[in-house]
Amino acid sequence: MDQKKPNPIDVHVGSRIRLRRAMLKMSQEKLADGLGITFQQVQKYEKGTNRVGASRLQMIATILNAPVGYFFADAPTPSSATDSKPVVHEEDAVTSFLATREGVELNLAFQRVANAKLRQNIVQLVKSLGAPSGLDRDHADPGATR
């Protein structure tokens, strides 16, 4: 095992800490103050660079008002000893996106759209904006910029 790379579980737990903190609109500094550590240490936890100990995770869960199990939800499963590539799940990409500022803002804004048809239209718009670049540009929106 390469000791320079963070453990995938530590990265996952860190991303869940970041996601929950962002959902609460709490700064790294505020979380750090509650833990009695520096915000740089919180950054290292959130990146998975530093492993979060059990007692520290319990403190984080209390401050972020979440059960400890929340931080392990959808955690990656260890790959077999013969498989050198980590197992990547689509859920990991979703969780990673939701842990970003843009992901939280988009999710909160989307939840405030009351009209179901409008929400469907927004989803279709975003899907079309994220369409593979190999699509025929003649069928693209002529007013759209690339």
Please tell me the distance from the alpha carbon of residue 130 to that of residue 86, in angstroms, as a whole number: 26
Q: How much is the mean pLDDT over the chain?
A: 80
Instruction: For the full predicted model, state whether its pTM sits above 0.85.
Output: no
Encode burial over 96-126: b for 16+ CB neighbours within 10 A, e otherwise.
eebbeeebbeeeeeeeeeeeeeeeeeeeeee
Q: Given this model, what pLDDT does residue 83 score?
A: 46
Q: Given this model, what pLDDT does residue 46 score?
A: 93
Residue 97: band (very low, low, confident or very high) from pLDDT cuts 50, 70, 90 = confident
Q: Given this model, what pLDDT does residue 143 score?
A: 47
Question: Which residue from 75, 97, 74, 100 is spatially nearest to 22, judged by alpha carbons?
Answer: 100
Q: Given this model, what pLDDT does residue 131 score?
A: 74
Please tell me the distance from the alpha carbon of residue 71 to that of residue 51, in angstroms, as a whole number: 13
Token pair, residue 35, equals 């833990």
Please tell me the distance from the alpha carbon of residue 48 to that of residue 68, in angstroms, as a whole number: 16
Per DSSP, the three-state class of 102 is helix
In order of start, what are the domains of the chain with their CATH numbers?
1-78+86-99 (1.10.260.40), 102-130 (no CATH)
Range in 33-42, 62-71, 126-135 with the lowest mean pLDDT:
126-135
